[in-house]
Amino acid sequence: MKEMTYSEAIRLAMTEEMRKDENIFIIGEDIGIYGGTFGVTKGMIDEFGEERIKDAPISEAAIVGAAAGAAVTGMRPIVELPFLDFITIGMDALVNQAAKMRYMFGGNEKVPMVVRLPGGSGTGAAAQHSQNLEAWFCHVPGLKVVAPSTPNDAKGLLKSSIRDDNPVVFIESKLLYNTTGMVEEDPEFTIPLGKADIKLEGSDISLITYGRMLKKALIVAKELAKENIYIEVIDLRTLAPLDKDTIIQSVKKTGRAIIVHEAVKTGGFGGEIVATIAESDAFDFLKAPIIRIAGVDIPIPHNKELEKAAVPSEKDIKAGIYRLLNK
């Protein structure tokens, strides 16, 4: 294990896979010498050249669509968009084309591509550069959706995503890029898609989260342990396919569930987790209603204090937990 940032872990995952398989290339805006909007691909052009670290025109529809076209003809493209928000321009290519090609052509084709999207707020870039739209992608059968929260998960999950034969939407939380953690160095280390990870075991409450909110959840859980409240923190890591089993088993054990995500509450992925619990036999174990702590239903504002108030804070999470315990 070696300490590195989330950003370095993503770069390492791509570098290792590209060394192994010459069909992999990266296509995106300003990913070459510039190194990408958040510097994730910095330096990769030196090793792989501009043919495989492909700076594209500012054309998200063509970038995502070309990736699909390359994928069905033998390549394994990785798309990097500057901001998750810009996928709206490439949505036809992703939703109507890449996600559908296998099914609507009778299962004859594979579409191995990864679309890396830096998401989330916290940079002051306001409403068009800060969204968390993962629920949209989860609503499209044919797509896989991954949202890692630690450098090690980012590396292992990205490698699995690159090796997967389906279109994978890989959501990177931009506020995590500079966070550090211990990362497996073995080039054959991967983390399978569709497996949640229990980041902290506990007996009183199941806290289900993913992405940037994991850190806040763990801080809250550690604080509350001092009050003898033991929270089990589940990091979903992959949203589609969803590891329902881990969620259900945990809720059966604790009898209480709280879901925390950065995305806005209405229509958010948290609703799907609530339904997963409510439709399962874990329902009979519930001692209290399920609670969602999520983003406020607004576009992200620019002002720093307003921006902070738009997403769940540690205080919000703690308040939710007290509510769950009738405290």
| Sites for another protein among residues 122-141 (CB under 8 A) | 141
- Stretch (H or E) spanning 327: none
Q: Is 87 in the site for another protein (CB under 8 A)?
A: no
Please identify, using beta-carbon distances, which residue of 141 and 326 lies nearer to another protein.
Answer: 141
Asked if 144 and 90 touch (Cβ cutoff 8 Å), the reply is no
Q: Is 282 in the site for another protein (CB under 8 A)?
A: no
Q: Is 50 in the site for another protein (CB under 8 A)?
A: no
Q: Is 66 in the site for another protein (CB under 8 A)?
A: yes
Distance CA 112, CA 133 (A): 22
Distance CA 258, CA 39 (A): 34
Please identify, using beta-carbon distances, which residue of 141 and 188 lies nearer to another protein.
Answer: 141
Count of residues touching another protein (by CB under 8 A): 44
Among 4, 18, 26, 67, binds another protein (CB under 8 A): 67
Q: Which two tokens stand for residue 301?
A: 């504002």
Please identify, using beta-carbon distances, which residue of 56 and 248 lies nearer to another protein.
Answer: 56
Q: Which two tokens stand for residue 262?
A: 């950065």
- Stretch (H or E) spanning 3: strand 2-5
Among 5, 7, 97, 132, binds another protein (CB under 8 A): 97
Among 28, 32, 65, 268, binds another protein (CB under 8 A): 65
Q: Is 195 in the site for another protein (CB under 8 A)?
A: no
Q: Is 165 in the site for another protein (CB under 8 A)?
A: yes
- Would you give the DSSP letter of residue 74? T
Q: Is 73 in the site for another protein (CB under 8 A)?
A: yes
Please identify, using beta-carbon distances, which residue of 55 and 316 lies nearer to another protein.
Answer: 55
Distance CA 68, CA 66 (A): 5
Q: Is 77 in the site for another protein (CB under 8 A)?
A: yes
Q: Which residues lie below 8 Å from residue 303, measured CB to CB, with a gap of 6+? A: none
Q: How far is the CB of 84 from another protein (least distance, A)?
A: 19
Q: Is 142 in the site for another protein (CB under 8 A)?
A: yes
Number of other residues whose CB lies within 10 A of the CB of residue 65: 18
Q: Is 109 in the site for another protein (CB under 8 A)?
A: yes
- Stretch (H or E) spanning 168: strand 167-173
Please identify, using beta-carbon distances, which residue of 77 and 120 lies nearer to another protein.
Answer: 77
Only segment of 9-17, 30-38, 62-70, 80-88 that touches another protein (CB under 8 A):
62-70
Q: How far is the CB of 112 from another protein (least distance, A)?
A: 8
Q: Is 129 a catalytic residue?
A: yes
Asked if 212 and 263 touch (Cβ cutoff 8 Å), the reply is no
Q: Which two tokens stand for residue 246?
A: 């881990």
Three-state helix/strand/coil letters over 243-306: CHHHHHHHHHHHCCEEEEEEEECCCCHHHHHHHHHHCCHHHHHCCCCCEEEEECCCCCCCCHHH
Residues in contact with another protein by CB under 8 A are 25, 51, 56-57, 59-75, 77, 89, 92-93, 96-97, 101-112, 141-142, 144, 165-166
Q: Which residues are designated catalytic? A: 129
